[in-house]
Amino acid sequence: MRNLWTKAGVFGSMSAAFGLMLWSQKQADLDQAASGDAAAPTNPTSPYKLKLVQVLFRHGARTPLKTIPGVMEAQWLPTLLEPPAHTHIDYEVTDLLGGPRPPAPVEDSYRKNVLKGGSFPGQLTTLGMQQLYELGKTLRRRYVEESPFLSSSFSPTEVYVRSTNIVRTIESAKCLVAGLFLQKQTETVTIQTTASESEILYPNYHACKMLKAMVSHRWAESSTLPDIAADLRSIKDALGIAADQHMDFILIRDDMVARETHGLRCPSALETWRARVEQRAVDMIYHVYAHNNNPETLQLCVGPLLHSVIGNMDEKLDGTASEPDRKLFLYSAHDTTLIPCLMALGIYDMKWPPYAADITLELHQHQETNKPFVKVSYVGQDQLLPGCSGVYCPLEEFKQVLSAHLMSYDVYHALCNSDEGATDP
């Protein structure tokens, strides 16, 4: 028995190493491609001065949330989850007021199930930790080394860290901060979270009755759309899954990408379906969030978050921020956060956001006119937003781009608990 466990541990370590090798090569390719496109944030000759940075990012690689039913399962061994030493920092998790971390029912639901090999669903892996550490190093290069915007060591007055109350996003935030400041800290890093009923860092179907009413039937409907339904029948047949077994392309993609990222085997029948699975998963999520181009859906998905982002900019400009020295807001979230945000910004590329993807929003001020501008990048690439006159988008134009999707938290809370209009037009 001990030999079996030893072999399993070695296999898990080999899989983790292979996954790290695969990801490192992809990351090197991405860095090389981006190096010629992304300008330094404060070029000495630039007329713009950087004032504030806000980063919304997806957690790193993880174990699947669910596995494809009835299909050869991968071995998700605990050896795939070991934290690299360079990601260790002193940190604490609190609520938004500095009190104890709230209960985490979503995380608790993951812990009720065990994947083959012994890990839980939705856990950040060693590879995922490294991905966020590398994202932190990228931010360090941009905002510490290429321009002295941030201090070289962590300062709580400069940096605000918030995460959804789920272990993989909390650990992702920790790893990013470790990479951003290379473990240089004299104070404990506080990662703030909130209770699930007040979470705005993802579309909160469970806490917002109106949002649930608007999208619940769209989720069910998305698998019955003619092209998606036909492909679903074909892939079930190819994988030998019973026709009445519940499954959808988002579930298939989740398991498939988790395996591929970590160098674990996929069923051979799935290999020929790789591109189609990606396409159909995106088709499904697009149908849910952008059905009939209804802005109310995106408002309820990410309106309060985007409202907070703009509020941070306004407070920085008018000097009313509670922390006047704050320069960086970090929000550790999910793919289901980034997709509706990209849609609201008008830059969704109809691709699923990769692990550790980031939307970075920079607030600049023109050094001669003092007029504010916003520059948005996605996965390191500067974006020209529809409705903006340039990559450096005047703040008023930026607000206009998002105007149909913004919603204050008070209005959001009132609508979510109202029975009025809780139907899909």
Amino acid identity for residue 393 in this structure: C
Which residues make Cβ contacts (< 8 Å) with residue 271, sequence separation at least 6? none
Taking a C-beta distance cutoff of 8 angstroms, is the pair 84, 60 a contact?
no
pLDDT in tens, 343-394: 999 999 999 999 999 999 999 999 999 999 999 999 999 999 999 999 999 9
Partners of residue 366 on adjacent β-strands: 48
Six-digit token string for 115: 């994947």
Q: Are 280 and 317 contained in the same domain?
A: no
Same domain flag for 333 and 380 = yes
State the pTM of this model: 0.90
Q: Are residues 12 and 117 in the same domain?
A: yes
- Model pLDDT, residue 94: 98
Q: Are residues 223 and 81 in the same domain?
A: no
For residue 88, indicate whether it is catalytic: no
Same domain, 217 and 264: yes
Examine residue 424 and state whether it is found in any structural domain, yes or no.
Answer: no
- Structural domain ending residue among the three candidates 221, 254, 288: 288
Q: Where a domain ends, among 288, 311, 334? A: 288
The active-site residue out of 59, 334, 364, 405 is 59
What tokens does 199 get? Answer: 């979470």
Question: Is residue 391 included in any domain, yes or no?
Answer: yes
In-domain check, residue 280: yes
Are 281 and 258 part of one and the same domain? Answer: yes
> What values do phi and psi take at 284, rounded to 5?
-65, -50
Quick check: is 128 in a domain? yes
Do the domain assignments include residue 422?
no
- Between β-strands 48-58 and 328-333, what pairing exists: parallel, antiparallel or unpaired? parallel
For the chain, percent of residues with pLDDT exceeding 90: 79
* Active-site pick, 248, 283, 335, 382: 335
Which pLDDT score, from 0 to 100, does residue 295 have?
87
Residue 310 has pLDDT above 90, yes or no: yes
Tokens at 80, concatenated? 């795939």
Given a cut of 90, whether residue 87 has pLDDT beyond it is yes
Q: Domain for residue 96, yes or no?
A: yes
The mean-pLDDT minimum among 178-182, 323-327, 390-394, 421-425 falls in 421-425
Query: What's the pLDDT score for residue 32?
Result: 47
Tell me what percent of the residues of the chain surpass a pLDDT of 70. Answer: 88
Say how many domains are in the chain: 2
Q: How many helices (H) and strands (E) does the chain have?
A: 13, 9
Residue 423 lies in a domain: no
Tokens of 141: 């290069």
What is the CATH classification number for the domain harbouring 358?
Answer: 3.40.50.1240
Give pLDDT, residue 8. Answer: 38
Same domain for 221 and 197:
no
Q: Which residue has the tokens 């699947």?
A: 64
Where among 288, 315, 350 does a domain terminate?
A: 288
Whether residues 17 and 47 fall in one domain: yes
> Do residue 245 and residue 192 come from a single domain?
no
Residue 156 lies in a domain: yes
Over residues 157-169, the mean pLDDT reads 98
Chain mean pLDDT for the chain: 90
Q: Kindly report which listed range (6-15, 173-182, 413-422) carries the lowest average pLDDT score.
A: 6-15
pLDDT score recorded for residue 9:
42
Whether residue 60 is predicted with pLDDT greater than 90 in this model: the reply is: yes
CA distance 128 to 83: 10
pLDDT digits (tens, 9 = 90+) for 201-254: 999 999 999 999 999 989 989 999 999 999 999 999 999 888 888 899 999 999
Query: How far, in Å, CA of 175 to CA of 62, rounded?
Result: 14
pLDDT at 423: 46
Domain co-membership, 202 together with 214: no
Q: Write the CB contacts of 170 (distance below 8 Å, at least 6 apart in sequence).
A: 93, 163, 191, 193, 332
Residue 130 has pLDDT above 50, yes or no: yes
Are 322 and 387 part of one and the same domain?
yes
pLDDT for position 22: 55
Mean pLDDT of 102-119: 95
Residue 85 per-residue DSSP state:
G
Any idea how long the chain is? Answer: 425
Supply the range of the domain harboring residue 270.
210-288
Q: What is the dihedral of CA 219, 250, 129, 310, to 10 degrees?
A: -40
335 and 411 assigned to the same domain: yes
Q: Looking at this protein, which amino acid is placed at residue 60?
A: G
Whether 59 sits among the annotated catalytic residues: the reply is yes
CA atoms within 13 A on the CB side of 1: 0
Cβ proximity of 20 and 126 under 8 Å? yes
Q: How far does CA 199 lie from the centroid of its chain?
A: 15
